[in-house]
Amino acid sequence: MPHPTQHHRLVDVPGGRIHLVEQGEGPLVLLVHGFPESWYSWRHQLPVLAEAGYRAVAIDVRGYGRSSKPRDVDAYRMLELVADNAAVVRALGAETATVVGHDWGAGIAANSALLEPDVFTAVGLLSVPYAPRGGPRPTDAFAMIGGPDEEFYVSYFQEPGRAEAEIEPDVRGWLAGFYAALSADTMPSPSDGPSPHFVPRDGRMSDRFPPHSGLPSWLTEADLDFYAEEFERTGLTGALNRYRNVDRDWEDLAALDGAPITQPSLFIGGDQDASTTWMADAIKAYPQTLPGLVSSHILEGCGHWVQQERAYEVNRLLVEWLGAVHGTA
C-alpha cells in the first residue's frame, strides 16, 4: 500500500526524466540508492526524515525504475548522474540540498558535492567510503584483483550483456541471492567457499551466493517482490551500465584527482561489509579527505544494506547529523 503522505513525481532533467518519491516539508534531503536497488531502499528513512522536519526525496537513479533509461552506455557516466541530481533539486524549486547516498549512490553523492558544491551543501555516505579520484585506470586495477581462476565482480560486469544473461532469466531468485550474500545474517562464511565478490572464470556470480535458502531478516517477501517487479520490467542493463563507465569517470574527473570534500559530511558503514573493510585505509584518511566530517560510524554486526538492515540506528544517526548540519540539534 502506498504511504498516504508520500508523493510520486516525474521531473524533467536534461537527460530525460527522473522518478522520485517525496515526503515532508523543510530543508531538502536527496536520497540516492545503489545497485541493484530503487527509491524503495529508503522506505524506512522517508517517514522518519519527514517527521524530523525535512523534505525527504528518494530518486530512482537513471536506468532504474520509472526514470529514463538511455541506450548509450556512456549516458551513465558520473557527470550525467551528478547533472541529474542537480536538475532534480532545481525541478523541486530548491536552491540547495543535503545529498545522502548508499553504495554507488555514495559515489554519486560524493561527486555531486565535489562538482556542485553550491547546490549540495552537505553529504552523507553509506557503506562505500569516500576515496578521492586517483591511482591507475580502474579496469586495470580491478583486473589485477582477480586470478587465473576467477575475476573481480566489477570486471565481470564490464561486458554488455554478460551479467544480464545470468540475471534476467530469474530476476527474483538472483536478487534474493545477491541481497543475502551481502547481508550480515545470511552472508556465506569462509567455510562455504570463495567470496561472492569473485566470479569463477566462465562461471556465474550466483555460483558464489550462499548455499542456504531463506531471505535476510530485513527483507520480506513483499520487499523482494517490489524489487523483482521493477527489474523484470526494466531489465538490468541501465543499472549495470554504471559499472561500465568507471574508466570514463576516471578520465572525466581528472581535475578532481585527490580532491577533498569540504562540506559537512557523515559516514555509516557495516563491520561485516566488504566495502567498509576493504577500504579501511580510505576511512583512516578521512581527516584529509573529508575535513568537514561531522561523524563516522561502523555498525557492529551489519552488512552492506545498512539503511535496511539497521534502519532504526541509521535513522537516528541521520537525524542527529542533519540536526547538527542545520543547527536544529
Catalytic center residues: 103, 304
Contact status, residue 86 vs residue 108, Cβ threshold 8 Å: no
Cα atoms in the Cβ-side hemisphere of radius 13 Å centred on 60: 25
Closest CA to 178 of 207, 147, 221: 207
**What is the C-alpha separation between 127 and 104, in angstroms, rounded?**
9
Handedness of CA 159, 160, 165, 171 (dihedral sign): positive
Q: Looking at the DSSP assignment, which residues form a beta bridge with residue 100?
A: 31, 124
Contact status, residue 183 vs residue 190, Cβ threshold 8 Å: no
**What is the C-alpha separation between 311 and 305, in angstroms, rounded?**
10
DSSP state of 191: G
**What is the C-alpha separation between 69 and 66, in angstroms, rounded?**
9
Handedness of CA 211, 217, 222, 225 (dihedral sign): negative
